[in-house]
Structure 1
Amino acid sequence: MALYADLHRHLGGSVVPRILWRYFQRHDDHLAQRFPKYNEFEEFYTRERSSLDEYLELHTLVESVQTAKTLPYFIYRLIRGAYIFENLAYLELRYTPYYRTAEHLSEFERIEQMAEIVEIVGKASQVKEYPMITSQILCMHTRLPYQVNKAIVDLAASRPDYVCAIDVAGGDSHLAQRLDEFVSLYKYARSLGIKTTGHLFETTNGCYPELLPYLMRIGHGIQIPLKYPELLKEVAQLQQCLEICPTTYFKTGTLEEISQLKIVFDRCFEAGVDIAICTDNAGLHNVRLPFEYENLLTQDVIDFAQLESCQDAAFRHAFAWPYQQRPASLLTGLLKETYPDEQLVNSH
């Protein structure tokens, strides 16, 4: 039964270790020789890193094999796993389309090919046997030049059938030298009616309040309640939602233990700031969304009422969810129509 929504999942980090390793063994001799045994590959792929930048380097490993030809292979398996094992009814996949284009092409040709990539991802995400609403978030990147990032914004505006928003990725510390540039790109996106989120306030090196007014959601944002709680009032007034991805912060060395997240949730709930619990890179972490829920509960970071509030918030802030209610509420209505209260009472 599909019940949940994941608003923050990267296409590059969504491939589970076993599927990626099998692909190497069958289709990539170089990487197959580099990782001949699965256990060694899983340990390498999922271990904790010392910094966000080191962690993000793993994306390049996957991006190198996620091409126009292979994307349907990976996406089918991603959708199948998300539906069967995670009970997802809604999924937003984010990625930088430029990094899925052919590297031998010129910059202009790669920009042109990005539209093909969006089309491939969009069609591959529609799997009849695993009915799930999906949409794409296109990521600008801190290591890409302005003209490529602007082309990503324009592409998002041209394909509302497949794309629901834009983001900026590439490590939050790299924003500093180009902050004005990304402010202008977000202003441009909002002028086109594009919805926005952004990797911000994830680490202490990525705190840029100048970008907050242009975001509808905040990718991570944990440093706001941890280090800058005075900003929570503004976040609440803007009706922004934090996309909290618990496992990420231990994989990147940002936090040391899960109990540190309790203050994040407590301060946000107190300030009236919504939180959506997400996976970020489910493959890199070898973790699925229900585990994130369970781990927060069993470690007393949140209670069941707060979990339900976060699940409601995920659908409320989903950029492409077409209904007013989350699936659980819709199912409850259907059950009441099928089994009137008297009938349910008599059946007991």
Structure 2
Amino acid sequence: MALYADLHRHLGGSVVPRILWRYFQRHNPDLAQQYPDYSEFEEFYTRERNTLDEYLELHTLVESVQNIDTLPYFIYRLIRGAYIFENLAYLEIRYTPYLRTNPTLSENQRIEQMRAIVEVVDKASKVNEYPIITSQILCMHTRLSYDINRAIVDLAADNKHQICAIDVAGGDKLYEDKIDEFVKLYQYARSRGIKTTGHLFETPYGSYPELLPYLMRIGHGIQIPLQHPELLTEVASLNQCLEICPTTYLKTGTLDDLKQLKIVFDRCFEAGVDMAICTDNAGLHNVRLPFEYENLLTQDIIDFGQLQTCQDASFRHAFAWPYSQPPSALLVGLLEERENTKHSISHRQKTLSP
């Protein structure tokens, strides 16, 4: 039985290098010529970058081949891998729908096509042989206009059966010039009953406390315990959950060593702030969720009890998990029910025996 939840996974960064390289070889001759050797492509695709901005440029490579026709190809393989190799019971897939539309269309036509993109992602995510509960988070983007970002909010509000929340993505250095816009957009989203998360406090450049009151979860948020621990009380009082993505901080040059996360976990546990351990971009990292767990444990950043606490928090803060308990508790209930049935049958047999 699948047991885990990943609350922070980007569609653009979810494609593992082998699958992306094979797609190039089969369907995109131009990119196939650029990357003829798989080992060289894997090294390029998964190596550490110096900054978050440099790291985010890799998303454009995947976004260039993810469109309304090809999305089912990539999503099927994402769901298959998440179920078989990661034991996921629940997955929130986030992406900017506008960046999957046809770039040759007008802006209004691209905004209209976003609805079709959402439908394709929803349909492709429902794979009977790999039963994972999925939902979509639509990302506004720092490089898009206010009108496009508001259209993304409206799309989420009009399709709550498919979309569980909104987010804001893009380099956090770009937030400053648009911070008033994003405050208005988040206020508008909350007024329409949309759940919210946002990439915030990931790097020292992403510290914008103005957005905190409008978020139900915080994408990353590690700079709060590292640089702004005075905010932890507010985060705890708002019942916000930090979406911690360990490998990301090495790949973006945000942290030099994974052990620097120990102070993040220690301060959050002490302040009563919930954390969910996530992958962010499992494909770009070539690291799946169970390995994120293992890396934190083997480097003594957290212990097994703390890991369980974070796993439980993932389901408690999941925007579209339909049950009041995580899968492990449901499984225990099924086993107890089975044992009770066996004992009841055994008791009746003994009672009826001559």
Could you tell me the TM-score, scaled by structure 2's length? 0.96
1:147-166 matches, cutoff 5 A: 147-166=147-166
What's 1:346 paired with? none
In 1: Cα distance, 2:324 partner to 2:296 partner: 27
TM superposition shift of 1:161:
1.2
In 1: Cα distance, 2:165 partner to 2:333 partner: 31
1:131-210 matches, cutoff 5 A: 131-210=131-210
What's 1:253 paired with? 253
| Code of the aligned partner of 1:16 | V
What's 2:221 paired with? 221
| Code of the aligned partner of 1:64 | S
| Code of the aligned partner of 1:47 | R
Cα deviation, 1:102-159, whole Å, max 9, x if unaligned, reads 0100101000000000000000000000001000000000000000000000000011
Q: Is structure 2 residue 35 aligned with structure 1 residue 35?
A: yes
What's 1:81 paired with? 81
Any unmatched runs of 5+ in structure 2?
344-354
In 2: Cα distance, 1:323 partner to 1:72 partner: 28
1:19-98 matches, cutoff 5 A: 19-98=19-98
What's 1:279 paired with? 279
TM superposition shift of 1:341:
11
| Code of the aligned partner of 1:9 | R
In 1: Cα distance, 2:199 partner to 2:173 partner: 10
Instruction: Give SS of 1:8's match.
Output: strand
| Code of the aligned partner of 2:61 | L
What's 2:120 paired with? 120
TM superposition shift of 1:179:
0.2
TM superposition shift of 1:342:
9.3
TM superposition shift of 1:48:
0.2
| Code of the aligned partner of 1:138 | L
Any unmatched runs of 5+ in structure 1?
344-348
What's 2:238 paired with? 238
| Code of the aligned partner of 1:79 | I
| Code of the aligned partner of 1:94 | R
Instruction: Give SS of 1:109's match.
Output: helix
In 2: Cα distance, 1:182 partner to 1:126 partner: 32
Percent of counterpart pairs with the same letter?
78
In 1: Cα distance, 2:281 partner to 2:36 partner: 23
Cα deviation, 1:256-308, whole Å, max 9, x if unaligned, reads 00110000000000000000000000000000000000110000000000000
In 2: Cα distance, 1:229 partner to 1:66 partner: 39
TM superposition shift of 1:171:
1.2
Count, aligned residues? 344
Larger Rg: 2
What's 1:129 paired with? 129
| Code of the aligned partner of 2:109 | E
Cα deviation, 1:166-197, whole Å, max 9, x if unaligned, reads 00001111100010000000000000000000
| Code of the aligned partner of 1:246 | P
In 2: Cα distance, 1:102 partner to 1:265 partner: 42
What's 1:324 paired with? 324
TM superposition shift of 1:340:
3.8
| Code of the aligned partner of 2:18 | R
Instruction: Give SS of 2:175's match.
Output: helix
In 2: Cα distance, 1:47 partner to 1:191 partner: 41
What's 1:13 paired with? 13
| Code of the aligned partner of 1:184 | K
What's 1:111 paired with? 111
| Code of the aligned partner of 2:170 | G
In 2: Cα distance, 1:97 partner to 1:257 partner: 34
